[in-house]
Amino acid sequence: MLTTKKEIVRYWASKQDECGLSVDWAEAEKLCWRCAHKRKLQRCHIIPRSLGGGEGPDNLVLLCGQCHTEAPNVADPDFMWDWLRAHAVSFYGTYWQARGFREYELVYGEKPFSGLDWTDEMIEEVKGMVKALMPCTSRHWGQGKINPSSVVWVLRQVDQKVRRNKDMP
């Protein structure tokens, strides 16, 4: 019989401080422990079975499918917690957007919108552009959110348009 999600949460709530994680224990049965999105959660082995990991709650965390595929596959149980804390976000549901901003820097060597002076009008313009561009993206492999590289594309389109509009009289 599978270890239940409730058993996994109960176990780790008594062993790990939620400080520095993306979720608090009260919502850990519903939200991915890495990205904090409300998705179907999978039992992810801290130490993979192929490396001798067991099926008890002491060797399982709850991740969405996308985070599960990126989770470490190593024989060091402490590394999972380092990895989860390294990816923590302050606000639920912002992990993939924040990761898109970091990836933008990797791709273009600068932060999006760097050097621009923001006005309330520009913020509204950017919101409208993002909304208009979202139908030009899709979710990969059935994921419920766009991936970081797609976020980069949206940000780049908006960044370039804002800069063009700023240079126009």
Give tens-digit pLDDT for 33-90. Answer: 999 999 899 999 999 999 999 999 999 999 999 899 999 999 999 999 999 999 998 8
- pLDDT number for residue 169: 56
- pLDDT number for residue 9: 98
Q: Where do the DSSP E strands lie in 60-168?
A: 60-64
96-129 pLDDT, tens digit per residue, is 889 999 999 999 999 999 999 889 999 999 999 9
- pLDDT number for residue 33: 96
Judged against a pLDDT cut of 60, whether residue 18 lies above it is answered with yes
Residue 99 in 3-state DSSP?
A: helix
Give me the helix-helix angle, 95-108 and 148-167, nearest 10°: 60
- Rounded Cα–Cα distance for residues 151 and 140 (Å): 12
**Residue that has been written with the tokens 């060091």 in this structure:** 76
Q: What's the average model confidence in pLDDT over 138-154?
A: 81
Judged against a pLDDT cut of 80, whether residue 144 lies above it is answered with no
**DSSP 8-state code for residue 32:** -
**DSSP 8-state code for residue 46:** S
As a whole number of Å, the end-to-end CA separation of the chain is 68
Residue 40 in 3-state DSSP?
A: coil
Token pair for 23: 């979720």
Q: Which helix (H) or strand (E) holds 41?
A: strand 41-45
- pLDDT number for residue 71: 96
- Rounded Cα–Cα distance for residues 36 and 96 (Å): 10
